[in-house]
Structure 1
Amino acid sequence: MTPVRKRFTVEEFHRMAQAGLLGEDDRVELLEGEVWEMSPIGSRHAAAVRRLRRLFTPLEMEGVCLIAVQDPVRLSPFSEPQPDLALLQPRPNLYQEAHPGSEDILLLVDVAEASLAYDLEVKAPLYARHGVLEFWVLDLEGKRLHVFRSPSPEGYQEVQVLVPGAHIAPLAFPSFLLRVAELPG
């Protein structure tokens, strides 16, 4: 028999955690059936995520979205990444029955302190294949915002790299204009 690669399902991934094979504090996510170890969260990264949370809080207070911070999103039976920040369709039950799927996602944001290549080369194509409408990568080192829109199976059709003088609004909230310089970094 020829060896084949074993892809884990989300359910198997969860059972590995329940069995103690993955610790509660392990920073891992499941992408296309493979378990990926994520970079540790440094203080600069954590502060950036908190600042992003604060910037988007007015939208949540208006009731037009829910904000999830470093929570899983279920893209398929084989992929359950944990973006740093997600703006989600509001639901009264706060997704108690199941993690949000791509149809629930208004915007995903990852903060890259040590993970820029991973976010751009692994996560962006994954999100595009699964129809996530908009994905941002905040590059702390380069002080840039990578914006991905118009997903397709081949990747995002619209990609921009914005610098501190630029402005951006999430597609879902076109009147919510942010200055890139306001974004943490």
Structure 2
Amino acid sequence: MPQTVQQPTENAPAPFRIIWTREDCERFENDGLLIPGKYELIEGEIIRKMPQNRPHSAGISRLFAWCLSVFTMDFVQTQAAINVSPEDNPTSFPEPDVFVLNRSIAYFTSAFPTPTDLELVAEVSDSTLAFDLSTKAGLYARAGSMEYWVLDVIGRALTVHREPSNGRYQSVVRYAADESVATLAKPAKQVVVSALLPPLAPVETKEEEN
């Protein structure tokens, strides 16, 4: 008959897993096995970027446009690579959907931004929400990124991560669509979360008066 057993208290050996590095990915690109911009390297795993659905791409566009309006075009980038913490750099090379620099893009013609160069890191999420709230949050917290936003286009909310310490964000606050938020860098520039999300109905443009 079936017997009740105790869950093992010691960690069992993990299945065989290959940890890829930036050098591996660069070699794969040179060999034509990977296409730049079509994948991310996160904690040693090569993650293929799926084609963006319309809500996801609309969320990126609206978040990017708002950041441009607040920080100007010389300080905002979208879907470009950044460095993380020294211990994570060899096996992670994320490309956030939007990030804001604290100095001009002109300083980064060859070098990649480091965590100390960033005012804000943001991801727009639909199917990757759990991953962005856990694995990527840990990656950015270990890097010391002071503010990390996750825009949830399905749940229509924004999760704001702040106060990185010991590899975790000590402050994690979820804002509903009708609530307002501002970045630490520009506290006077508040935005209603719904303004960053894909509109629920078509936005009609007013005809110009003669």
Query: Could you say which TM-score interval applies, normalised by the shorter chain?
Result: 0.7 to 0.9
Q: SS of the counterpart of 2:100?
A: strand
Equivalent of residue 8 in structure 1, options 3, 6, 20? 20
Write the distance in 2 (CA, Å) between the matches of 1:54 and 1:93.
20
Structure number with larger C-alpha Rg: 2
Give the distance between the partners of 1:153 and 1:16, measured in 2 at CA.
33
* Cα offsets for 1:102-143 (capped at 9, x unmatched): 111111111112111111121111111111111111111111
Matched residue, 2:56: 45
2:94 aligns to what?
A: 81
Conserved? CA contact 1:130–1:153, under 8 Å? no
Partner SS, residue 93 of structure 2? coil
1:6 is displaced (CA, Å) by 4.1
Does the aligned pair in 1 maintain the 2:158–2:193 contact within 8 Å?
A: yes
Aligned length: 180
Secondary structure (helix, strand or coil) at the match of 1:53 reads: helix
Q: Which moved more, 1:138-147 or 1:71-80?
A: 71-80
Counting only pairs closer than 5 Å after superposition, residues 108-123 of structure 1 correspond to structure 2 as: 108-123=121-136
Q: Which residue of 1 aligns with 2:181?
A: 168
Ranges in structure 1 where 5+ consecutive residues have no aligned partner: none
Mapped partners of 1:25, 1:101: distance in 2: 19
Q: TM-score scaled by structure 1?
A: 0.88
Deviation at 1:37, TM superposition (A): 2.4
- Distance (Å, rounded) in 2 between the aligned partners of 1:18 and 1:173: 41
Q: Select the residue among 84, 87, 100 that pairs with 2:113.
A: 100
Residue of structure 1 in register with 2:67 after alignment: 56
Q: CA deviation at 1:88?
A: 1.1
Q: SS at 2:80's partner residue?
A: coil
Does structure 2 retain, via aligned residues, the 8 Å contact 1:136–1:148? yes
Question: Are positions 1:69 and 2:81 aligned together?
Answer: no
Aligned to 2:160: 147
> What per-residue deviation string (whole Å, max 9, x for no partner) do you get for residues 6-64 of structure 1?
433323322221221102463x1111222122333112211111111111112333x7x
CA-atom RMSD, angstroms? Answer: 2.0
1:36 matched to 2:43? no
Q: 1:168 and 1:110 mapped to 2: Cα distance? A: 16
CA distance in structure 2 between the aligned counterparts of 1:142 and 1:32, rounded to whole angstroms: 27
- AA partner of residue 21 (structure 1): L
- What is residue 134 of structure 1 aligned with on the other side? 147
1:45·1:113 contact (CA, 8 Å) conserved in 2? yes
Query: Is the partner of 1:151 in helix, strand or coil?
Result: strand
Give aligned-pair identity as a percent: 34
Matching residue's letter, 2:112: H
Which AA in structure 1 matches 2:25? Answer: F
- Farther-moved stretch of structure 1 (141-150 vs 69-78): 69-78
